Amino acid sequence: MRGLTLIGVVLVILGVGALLFGHFSYTETKPLIDAGPIHVNSQEDHTVWIPTAAGIVVLLAGLGLVFAGQRKT
């Protein structure tokens, strides 16, 4: 089951990344005025927090899939 192990490794990497970084930010640009040659935009900063419990669950699920994939081979 090579695919199961591969999915497990990807989940482990995502879980570790979620635990290390904890959040990510992005900027959204919205048009305010778009009247002929006049264009006015607004930029909004957003921060998305990743719960620690979610990182732990994804990490454990990935480890489970890695071990399950190794066991069936």
Q: At residue 50, does pLDDT exceed 70?
A: yes
What is the pLDDT, as a whole number, of residue 62? 94
For residues 19 and 26, is the Cβ–Cβ distance under 8 A? no
pLDDT at 54 exceeding the cut of 90: yes
Within-domain flag for 34: no
Confidence of residue 72 (pLDDT cuts 50, 70, 90): low
CA angle, residues 18, 20, 21, in degrees to nearest 5: 70
Cross-strand pairs, 28: 44
Per the domain annotation, does 30 fall within a domain? no
Average pLDDT, stretch 26-47? 92
Q: Is residue 64, in this structure, part of any structural domain at all?
A: yes
Counted domains in the chain:
1
Domain membership flag for residue 1: yes
Six token digits for residue 52: 């620690």
Look up the domain containing 61 and give its range: 1-19+50-73
3-class DSSP state of 2: helix
2-21 vs 52-72: helix axis angle to the nearest 10?
A: 160
Q: State percent of the chain over pLDDT 90.
A: 71
pLDDT reported for residue 34: 87
The per-residue pLDDT for 1 is: 62
